[in-house]
Chains A and B, each alone.
Chain A
């Protein structure tokens, strides 16, 4: 948690391997991700990190099913295996009945749940969520946060979420405060 400009998103991007620190190192699962080259980093992200963004960032020409399937196109899975994993991911986020819908045919909450399904379809160890409820009404936000919480508690995923909303932060098991690029302390629940 932290105010705007505190460096929350930057830290999240560095942890997720989509940005590099100007100094120091960032170890994730024992690997200094800043030292990996572009190609290694791309592979590492595909296998270890799932992304959830504030603006959902689904591909508009693909259905929810196809959006979720996207990261699996880079794997060696067969069509059947891909289908099974996508269906499982959509079921986990409660979106099986909307699988064939395009993003514009989904509500904001449903879009974000599709984005969460895309993040977890490769079964990554870490899911990073950058203000995942920033564009949602309170009801949809609750749904999304509940899904993320269950991924952490029931599926054993490490979910790192950035927010400045205390209500959203309350869903986390640990809250770390950040201000002007410095960690201030943490609360545990």
Chain B
């Protein structure tokens, strides 16, 4: 027998309790990882160089309020602006689906490559999209989901405008942070749904990163005190403000994480206390035969740590396997395309498990250290 096997036998002496303890840690850490990944995904800044040069211009009142199309030439003339495109939410339902399952935006097809250059398509597809007014392009994930291919025709019924539009798929793109969207011609939307004169928002590209602050400031000032004041901001800032519309998600998720960890500490500490309390006499015997306080502390710590780490392996490993090899869009009903369990998130969860193992062992260790052999023997005799 070794000290290790002695610890293992002690930890597994009540198999049901050990299993439930490990599972409670595992489930909690799984939840912690899921929340951390969620937080990361929704606050992840766009990392491509194109994103650093993109500016979103929306109505200052709300994203839901449209902007007048007459703003276009004014924005185009702002020094530092390379190109501008409208970007209008269509909100169409595909076939007989109850809800909208992928986003559709109307834009200036000829500006697509210059503003959203990361969308990868063949030259022929790009050209076809630019030249055909009723064409559209769709992301790879949506194409896969509905088994659509280039040349197919689809029809969408708008939930915003009183119209339906039919499109010919000119291309299927990939390589963006969200390969689900559909893009089509603003001109086609205007003609088909009578939306001439207004757009949802503007996306523009600045010539250099250095131009960004000046461009946003100039645009904001240009429409100040007009009937449609705007808020121009970088893509990163836009994304964060978009998230903030859902409330303070970061604080909300952090609060849930804290509750999860705190509950976990209580459950683990309680489990370890019970495990130690029911064998106080045995620990007294160990003391009698020569085990010192620090050795008993090490035994309890190792047991507590072992249970926590077993839970960590199950919970973190399970989350990693599920989110890495499972179909995230299907699991999240299309809310998330990727759900990456990064090494940093796994390390944080592992650290939580380690600290948990240590904290859970402190109270029982202290009580065992304080207990005299005689009292330990009497307690349960």
Give the docked Cα–Cα distance between A173 and B18 (Å): 49
**B381 is an interface residue with CB less than 8 A from chain A:** yes
Asked if B330 is at the interface of the complex by the 8 Å CB criterion, the answer is no
For the complex, would chain A's binding face be called helix, strand, loop or mixed by DSSP majority? helix
A55 touches B286 (CB 8 A): no
Residues of A within 8 Å of B6, CB to CB, are 62, 66, 70, 73
Interchain CA distance A69-B9 in the complex, whole Å? 15
Contact with B289, one of A13, A61, A118 (Cβ below 8 angstroms): A118
- CB pair B291–A19 under 8 Å, yes or no, is no
Selected contact of B292 from candidates A42, A53, A61, CB within 8 Å: A42
Q: Once the chains bind, are B1 and A62 in contact (CB under 8 Å)? A: yes
B13 CB-CB contact with A under 8 Å: yes
Verify if A46 is at the interface (C-beta below 8 Å from B).
yes
Chain B interface residue count, Cβ-Cβ cutoff 8 angstroms: 25
Interface residues on A, range: 20 to 34
A57-B282, A61-B13, A69-B1 are known contacts. Are A74 and B372 too (CB-CB below 8 A)?
A: no
Q: Which A residues are in CB contact (< 8 Å) with B372?
A: 18-19
Cα-based distance from A74 to B287 in the complex (angstroms): 11
Judge whether A38 is part of the interface by a CB distance below 8 angstroms.
yes
Q: Is the CB of B287 within 8 A of A53?
A: no
Contact between chains at A42 and B1 (CB < 8 Å): no
Scan residues 109-142 of chain A and give those whose CB is less than 8 A from a CB of chain B. Answer: 118, 122
A74, B377: Cβ atoms closer than 8 Å:
no
Q: In the complex the two chains form, is B295's CB within 8 Å of A74's CB? A: yes
Nearest CB of B to A35, in Å: 17
Distance A51 CA – B13 CA, assembled complex (angstroms): 24
Q: Measured between C-beta atoms, what is the minimum distance from B141 to chain A in Å? A: 53
**In the bound complex, CA of A60 to CA of B282 (Å):** 9
User: Which residues of chain B are near A46, meaning CB under 8 Å?
Assistant: 289-290
**B381 proximity list for chain A (CB < 8 A):** 55
Known: A59-B285, A74-B295. A43 touches B373 (CB 8 A): no
Question: A13 vs B295: C-alpha distance in the bound complex, in angstroms?
Answer: 22
Kindly state whether residue A177 has any CB partner on chain B within 8 Å: no
Instruction: Judge whether B231 is part of the interface by a CB distance below 8 angstroms.
Output: no
Contact of A42 among B2, B9, B285, B290 (CB under 8 A): B290
Q: 8 Å CB contacts to B: which residues of A18-37?
A: 18-19
Cβ of A38 to closest chain B Cβ, rounded Å: 6
State which residues 335-376 of B face A: CB under 8 Å: 372-374
B3 beta carbon closer than 8 Å to chain A: yes
Q: Which 4 A-B pairs have the closest CB atoms?
A: A46-B290, A18-B373, A71-B289, A42-B292
Write 19 A-B pairs (CB below 8 A) sorted by A numbering: A13-B374, A19-B373, A42-B287, A42-B290, A42-B292, A43-B290, A45-B289, A45-B290, A57-B281, A60-B13, A62-B1, A62-B6, A62-B9, A65-B1, A66-B6, A70-B1, A73-B1, A74-B290, A122-B290
Instruction: Supply 6 further A-B pairs (C-beta < 8 A) apart from A51-B288, A62-B1.
Output: A16-B288, A45-B289, A46-B289, A53-B377, A61-B12, A71-B289
